């Protein structure tokens, strides 16, 4: 375990500023209305100016207030936050972020968690300051094995696992990788979604809900196809242009943030920009694409698989229809229907409510 502190070289900051200053702005597209053609040009210019004016050193200090470390696991350097609680009865909790996010996802939530939990936040391989995969074949199960080793090294015999987005794949896999140690799995959502195989047995109201799901899932820009088929093609552009990277990532955050017109209305704008900056400084546009390898390998997308090694709780459970299917493969003990409404990244939009829900789930274990 080596203590770690973020310190981006000044030359890298100067280079970023020069590139932002030299942005070649495209022309407006005739007929573009709002987000009909992607990120509105005026909005993108506003965000780019905010990024240029961002006090990076102040944001570094804000994040460096969390104890951070590097350790080698499975041949890869893993970066993680480890924030211990002052509560002698605290339970350990490991949080796994998603894409296109980073450990920054939990920056505003940690203070709400530490009265109850010792908090561990690792960066996925290739994300932030964790070393990128050295070979093909990484998946949620392999990451879960790394997380089990990390928690063992930290001395935690029993702990909760939490995740959203790709973290919702890792957390159940961690329960399977460390049976008897993971005492509960808390997810933001993503379990119980029906598939085409369920259609013949659906009631009329369930079929209507299924059809609505298909509309929702087919909307937006298909990042799975883009990064699953040709990550090198797009990384070449995003790695060279910070404005291009900003446009891509804010487009995805816009799609994921269904609770507001634009992401910064419900998420700290500085944290949004810091997250983009981490991808820029660490080359994350290429190194994070492994999570979509299944597309190139010809495998179909699948929702997180169920597990019964530990009880499961969900922040945004969904309908009774979805819960019934979730219960086929999971021991569901927590399925609230009245939590504060949120988009994809609940920890950023509703940090206090998200932390309270994790604690409520823990109370049921």
Whether 121 contacts 70, CB under 8 Å: no
Number of neighbouring beta carbons within 10 Å of residue 300: 7
Q: Could you tell me if residue 184 is inside a domain?
A: yes
- pLDDT, residue 220, reads 83
- Which domain covers residue 329, as residue numbers? 2-16+36-363
**Residue 302: count of CB within 10 angstroms of its CB:** 10
Tell me whether residue 23 is in a domain. Answer: no
Quick: pLDDT tens for 163-210. 999 999 999 999 999 999 999 999 998 788 777 888 888 888 878 877
Domain at 352, CATH number: 3.40.50.1820
Report which of 267, 222, 274 is spatially closest to residue 54, judged by C-alpha positions.
Answer: 274
| pLDDT for 100 | 96
Quote the CA–CA distance of 224 and 227 in Å, as a whole number.
6
* Model confidence pLDDT, tens digit, residues 325-360: 899 999 999 999 899 999 899 999 999 999 999 999
User: Does residue 74 form part of some domain?
Assistant: yes
Cα–Cα nearest to 57, from 280, 276, 274: 274
* Domain membership flag for residue 128: yes
Answer yes or no: is 165 within a domain: yes
In a domain, 24, yes or no: no
Cα angle 278-280-281, degrees, rounded to a multiple of 5: 70
Q: Say what the pLDDT of residue 316 is.
A: 87
User: What's the length of the chain?
Assistant: 365
Percent of the chain with pLDDT over 70: 99
Structurally, the chain folds into a number of domains equal to 1
**Spatial separation of the C-alpha atoms in residues 361 and 162, rounded to whole Å:** 11
At 221 the pLDDT is 86
Whether residue 166 is contained in a domain is answered as: yes
């Amino acid at each position: 375990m080596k203590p770690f502190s973020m310190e981006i070289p000044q030359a890298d900051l100067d280079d970023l500023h020069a590139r932002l200053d030299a942005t070649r702005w495209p022309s407006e597209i005739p007929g573009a209305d709002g987000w009909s053609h992607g990120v509105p040009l005026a909005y993108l210019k506003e965000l780019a100016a905010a990024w240029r004016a961002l006090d990076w050193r102040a944001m570094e200090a804000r994040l460096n207030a969390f104890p951070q470390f590097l350790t080698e696991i499975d041949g890869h350097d893993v970066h993680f936050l480890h924030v211990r609680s002052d509560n002698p009865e605290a339970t350990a909790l490991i949080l796994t972020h998603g894409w296109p996010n980073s450990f920054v996802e939990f920056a505003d939530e940690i203070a709400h968690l530490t009265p109850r939990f010792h908090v561990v936040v690792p960066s996925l391989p290739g994300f932030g300051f964790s070393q990128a995969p050295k070979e093909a074949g990484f998946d949620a199960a392999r990451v879960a094995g790394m997380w089990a080793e990390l928690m063992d090294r930290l001395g935690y015999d029993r702990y909760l696992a939490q995740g959203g987005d790709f973290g919702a794949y890792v957390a159940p896999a961690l329960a399977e990788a460390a049976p008897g140690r993971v005492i509960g799995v808390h997810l933001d959502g993503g379990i119980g979604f029906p598939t085409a195989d369920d259609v013949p047995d659906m009631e009329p109201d369930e079929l209507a809900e299924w059809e609505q799901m298909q509309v929702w899932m087919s909307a937006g820009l298909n990042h799975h196809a883009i990064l699953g088929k040709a990550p090198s093609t797009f990384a070449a552009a995003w790695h060279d242009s910070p404005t291009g990277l900003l446009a891509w990532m804010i487009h995805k955050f816009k799609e994921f943030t269904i609770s507001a017109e634009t992401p910064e209305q419900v998420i700290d704008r500085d944290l949004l920009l810091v997250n983009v900056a981490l991808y820029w400084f660490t080359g994350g546009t290429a190194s994070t694409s492994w999570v979509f390898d299944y597309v190139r390998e010809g495998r179909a997308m699948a929702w997180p698989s169920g597990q019964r090694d530990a009880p499961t709780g969900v922040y945004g459970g969904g309908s009774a229809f979805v819960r019934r299917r979730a219960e086929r493969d999971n021991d569901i003990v927590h399925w609230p229907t009245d939590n504060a409404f949120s988009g994809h990244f609940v920890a950023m939009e509703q940090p206090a409510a998200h932390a309270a829900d994790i604690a409520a789930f823990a109370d049921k274990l």
